[in-house]
Amino acid sequence: MVSPPTDAGSDSTAGRSGGRRLTSVFRLGVRRLGGKLTGRSAPRLVLSVTGIAVAIMLMTAVSGVALGLASQNAVQSEAVDYWVVPEGGDVQTIAVSTGGPQLGEGHALTAELASDDRVRYATAVLLQVVPLEGPEGTEYVLFVGAVPPAEATPTIAGLPTDPLTAGDPYYNDGGYNGTWTGEVVLNSATAELLGVEAGEELAVPASDESLSVTTVADAEFDTGVGSVPVALVHLSELQAIRGATDTDAADQLLVSTTDAGVRDRLDGLAPNTVVVTRTGLAAESVSTSSLPVAMAAAAFVVALVVGVLFTATMMGLEVSADRQTLGTLAAMGYGGRSLTVLVVAETLTLAAIGGVVGVGLGGLATVGINQGAAAVFGVGSLAVFRPALVGYGLAVALVIGLCAVPYPIWLSRRGDPLAVIRR
């Protein structure tokens, strides 16, 4: 038991001593709450913890969905510094899209850039949804057509390019009459969907040609609605499959360089194109993600309001039921400030417990959301759970406690605590 504190002090020494006493009172409040959780007050306090936990769980889960929706949807490749896209290009045209404006002369532009010593690698990229026929049936897969560089081995859309023959053998000096490789790299989602492994053949219903699986990569291509099945092939072979050979069509150019001066060349590379930098892409993504931001903000407000109302009500009931004990402490010499610290300690501790439980439930809810999304919509990761959400959830729980504590403090100070024990 802590010695009854004295709330007054006349000098700095007394102030420091008073601070230590109030710290001791705070610790006493934490211990008192632990005892109450196993005593007669347990049902009421457990209910309060549950209310906070549910609020934090919902906020964490919704924030996880918002983070998933705000995930970068661009065709990512290692060390890409610039994206060249059709004029008017923004995040929507850089992202997975098969119906927007396209570039022409993809191979010629790739060759021109690759000849620049300042360019580490460059490739035109074409995105098309193509039906593939495997042992498990026919499924639609996002095909990524690219020109694998000879001097570098980047990953594009999460898939390695080195299993593909360097260059583009089927594209023969402006014509599509070279050697058909039929090489395709699949991500694990595609292989599982089709029921195939490396070395197996795949029929393409839209073409007379077939494809051979060179590699199944354990990689995910994450869009705003989760991971999707992806296949990586040579650009010319995808163009032939989809009938895009007349214009040598591509959706974008990926450029990796160590020289910022390459930007000037990219600006005049082709008419009606714009150059997007890595920084510009990130900024534009943030500016166009109003829905995820709104979702996260709404989840925060709802969690805060619900948590504060629940905690204030439950702790108010607890203080009212505990007035006999508070009166006894007052009779022992605990002043008004000390009793306030006691109530604050109990409320914040209760909020912290609810926050810990809520964050844990939020992680489980995220798993459940992803499993439900996979079962219903066929996507792999609609929501994400990042370490930052743990700190976020705990911080919001403490804010709930701070916002809720004035009400039980007011109740504890209402009337004379000593009068309670005189009755």
What gap in Å lies between CA 280 and CA 81, rounded to an integer? 10
How many other CB atoms are found less than 10 A from the CB of residue 418? 12
Instruction: For residue 245, give Cα distances in angstroms to 121, 127, 170, 238.
Output: 23, 14, 11, 9
Instruction: For residue 292, give Cα distances in angstroms to 69, 222, 285, 286.
Output: 6, 16, 11, 10
Burial (0-12, 13-18, 19+ Cβ within 10 Å), 409 = buried
**C-alpha 392: how far from its chain's center?**
13
Handedness of CA 220, 226, 230, 232 (dihedral sign): negative
What gap in Å lies between CA 343 and CA 336, rounded to an integer? 11
Residue 202's DSSP bridge partners are 211
Contact 160, 141 (CB under 8 A): no
How many other CB atoms are found less than 10 A from the CB of residue 137? 10
Which of 260, 158, 259, 141 minimizes the C-alpha distance to 202?
Answer: 141
Coil/strand/helix, residue 63: helix
Helix, strand, coil: what percent of the chain each, to 5? Answer: 50, 20, 30
Contact 84, 264 (CB under 8 A): no
Let me know how many helices (H) and strands (E) the chain has, helices first: 14, 13
Helices (H), 138-200: 188-194
Tens of pLDDT along the chain (423 residues)? 445 555 544 445 555 656 677 788 788 778 888 887 777 778 888 888 999 999 999 999 988 887 766 544 445 554 567 888 887 554 444 444 445 567 888 999 999 988 888 998 899 999 888 999 888 888 899 899 999 998 888 888 889 999 999 999 999 888 999 999 999 999 988 998 899 999 999 999 878 888 999 999 987 665 544 567 899 999 999 999 988 888 898 888 888 887 878 888 888 788 878 887 754 444 444 444 466 678 888 899 999 999 999 899 888 888 887 776 766 766 676 667 777 888 888 899 999 999 999 999 999 998 888 888 767 655 555 677 888 899 999 999 999 999 999 998 888 777 555 554 455
What gap in Å lies between CA 228 and CA 208, rounded to an integer? 25
With a CB cutoff of 8 Å and minimum separation 6, the contacts of 88 are 101, 274
With a CB cutoff of 8 Å and minimum separation 6, the contacts of 46 are 37
Strands (E), 91-153: 119-134, 137-146
Could you tell me the pTM of the whole model? Answer: 0.52
- Residue 417 Ramachandran class (φ > 0 left, ψ -120 to 50 alpha, else beta): alpha
